[in-house]
């Protein structure tokens, strides 16, 4: 072949390769412009402001799953670590939504905290695309909602169980009285036992009503000034018959009087329950002490008994509804298992707390701690 043909073929091949290169460069440039357009897409107007004011957790992610925005709630729930999501489950949901383009809602357990086991939180999470470039993650903490639902279920179950015992006992005793109609001594014994069970049933019903009212009302909504000395005097007077029956003395020592804000009726009920509990679970012919003092703006009402004490594993649970350290002894004393629960709810609703010190074999001290009411300002007179 003539050399000129080789030159011509080389020129044509070079031209073709050059044209192909120019075309590929044009396609690449166009694709690059599209990518840059997507990458430069701004976060939609108002999203940043919305995330800042969210009470729940809100997070905005970019295409590489880096955190661009996070609400204070997301920080509180410990969902973000710098520019990364901490939850593997949420991150997997984000990746699925990137692939499918469809939002997802999931319930998951998230552990808040990075030392030890952390706190277990139950979250409902919604993951949804936000334009072409961003992903929005919203998380609501349902931990308290689920806890309260569990408490309600347990409460109904406990009430059903606890009410069955005295009601069943009354029914059985009524049958026993009918069967022993010809034996006056047995009738009298059964009648006395029926009276005990009916009294216990009446107390339980009253305490259930009291507990429901305490949980429903806010004593600090329209509070009154309550004198603690008067509260203690009334509480002691209401338990005097019980103490006299056991030949017990109730000794009161008020180091400093104080006033608190709230409901005099509820605070008196709480102190009365503490005193009655101390009398019931102390041996006969002993004494119960009540001390009142003010420490750093908090009035402390301490009730000390000479009972058997409470083991460490029971000290937190004694404030639960219907919990009894010794169920057999509670049946003898007529305890309902609601008294200390009422005390705890009264304390919390008044912005205070109830604490317990106990040593097995030596007795226990329950302390009701309430914030002292501030002295009202008085206008100076000339």
**Cα–Cα distance, 35 to 193 (Å, whole number):** 86
Q: What's the pTM value of the predicted model, to 2 decimals?
A: 0.53
**Cα–Cα distance, 158 to 94 (Å, whole number):** 43
Q: Is the torsion defined by CA of 69, 71, 74, 76 positive or negative?
A: positive
**Cα–Cα distance, 339 to 211 (Å, whole number):** 9
Q: Which residue has the tokens 């008294």?
A: 339
- Classify residue 104 as exposed, middle or buried by CB count within 10 Å of its CB (0-12, 13-18, 19+): middle
Q: What are phi and psi of 157, to 5 degrees?
A: -65, -40
Question: What domains appear along the chain, each with residue ranges and CATH number?
Answer: 47-141 (3.30.450.20), 143-216 (1.10.287.130), 219-375 (3.30.565.10)
Query: Could you tell me if 359 and 310 are in contact, meaning their C-beta atoms sit under 8 angstroms apart?
Result: no
Show the tokens assigned to 242: 């019980």
Residues 6+ apart with CB under 8 A from 26: none
**Cα–Cα distance, 232 to 272 (Å, whole number):** 8
Question: Which secondary structure element, helix H or strand E, spans residue 68, and what is its range?
Answer: strand 67-70
DSSP 143: H
Q: What pLDDT does residue 237 have? A: 93
Q: What pLDDT does residue 233 have? A: 95
Q: What pLDDT does residue 340 have? A: 86
Q: What pLDDT does residue 225 have? A: 92
**Cα–Cα distance, 235 to 264 (Å, whole number):** 11
Taken as a whole, the chain contains a residue count of 382
Query: Could you tell me if 58 and 51 are in contact, meaning their C-beta atoms sit under 8 angstroms apart?
Result: yes
Q: What pLDDT does residue 191 have? A: 82
Q: What pLDDT does residue 303 have? A: 95
pLDDT in tens, the chain (382 residues): 556 665 566 666 666 666 666 666 665 656 655 444 444 456 666 677 777 767 778 999 998 999 988 888 888 888 988 889 989 999 999 999 999 999 999 999 988 776 555 678 899 999 999 888 899 999 998 887 887 777 677 666 666 656 666 777 777 778 888 788 788 888 888 888 777 777 777 766 766 666 666 665 667 677 899 999 999 999 999 999 889 989 999 999 998 889 999 989 899 999 999 999 899 888 888 999 999 999 989 999 999 998 888 888 777 777 776 665 554 444 444 455 677 888 888 888 888 899 999 988 889 999 999 999 876 545 444 3
What is the biggest distance separating any 2 CA atoms in the chain, rounded to whole angstroms? 143
Three-class secondary structure of residue 180 per DSSP:
coil
What is the distance, to the nearest Å, from the Cα of residue 374 to the centroid of all Cα atoms in its chain? 29
Number of neighbours of residue 373 by Cβ within 10 angstroms? 18
Show the tokens assigned to 179: 């069967």
């Amino acid at each position: 072949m003539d050399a000129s043909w080789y030159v011509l073929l080389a020129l044509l091949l070079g031209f073709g390769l050059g044209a192909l290169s120019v075309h590929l460069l044009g396609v690449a440039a166009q694709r690059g412009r599209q990518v840059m357009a997507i990458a430069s897409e701004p976060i939609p107007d108002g999203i940043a402001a919305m995330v800042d004011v969210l009470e729940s957790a809100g997070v905005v992610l970019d295409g590489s799953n880096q955190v661009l925005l996070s609400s204070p709630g997301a920080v509180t729930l410990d969902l973000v670590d710098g520019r990364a999501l901490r939850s593997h489950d949420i991150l997997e949901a984000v990746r699925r939504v990137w692939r499918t383009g469809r939002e997802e809602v999931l319930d998951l357990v998230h552990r808040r905290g990075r030392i030890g086991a952390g706190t277990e939180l139950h979250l409902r999470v919604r993951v949804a695309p936000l334009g072409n470039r961003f992903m929005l993650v919203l998380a609501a903490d349902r931990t308290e909602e689920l806890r309260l639902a569990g408490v309600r279920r347990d409460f109904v179950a406990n009430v059903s169980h606890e009410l069955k015992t005295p009601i069943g006992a009354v029914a059985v005793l009524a049958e026993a009285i009918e069967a022993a109609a010809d034996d006056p001594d047995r009738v009298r014994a059964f009648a006395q036992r029926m009276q005990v069970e009916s009294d216990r049933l009446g107390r339980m019903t009253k305490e259930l009503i009291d507990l429901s009212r305490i949980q429903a009302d806010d004593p600090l909504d329209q509070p009154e000034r309550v004198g603690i000395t008067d509260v203690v005097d009334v509480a002691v007077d209401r338990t005097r018959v019980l103490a006299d029956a056991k030949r017990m003395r109730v000794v009161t020592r008020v180091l400093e009087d104080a006033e608190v804000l709230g409901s005099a009726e509820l605070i008196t009920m709480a102190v009365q329950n503490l005193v009655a509990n101390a009398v019931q679970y102390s041996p006969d012919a002993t004494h119960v002490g009540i001390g009142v003092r003010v420490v750093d703006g908090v009035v402390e009402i301490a009730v000390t008994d000479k009972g058997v004490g409470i083991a460490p594993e029971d000290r937190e649970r004694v404030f639960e509804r219907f919990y009894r350290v010794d169920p057999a002894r509670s049946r003898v004393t007529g305890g309902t298992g609601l008294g200390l629960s009422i005390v705890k709810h009264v304390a919390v609703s008044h912005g205070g707390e109830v604490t317990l010190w106990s040593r097995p074999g030596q007795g226990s001290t329950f302390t009701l701690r309430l914030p002292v009411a501030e002295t009202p300002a008085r206008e100076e007179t000339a």
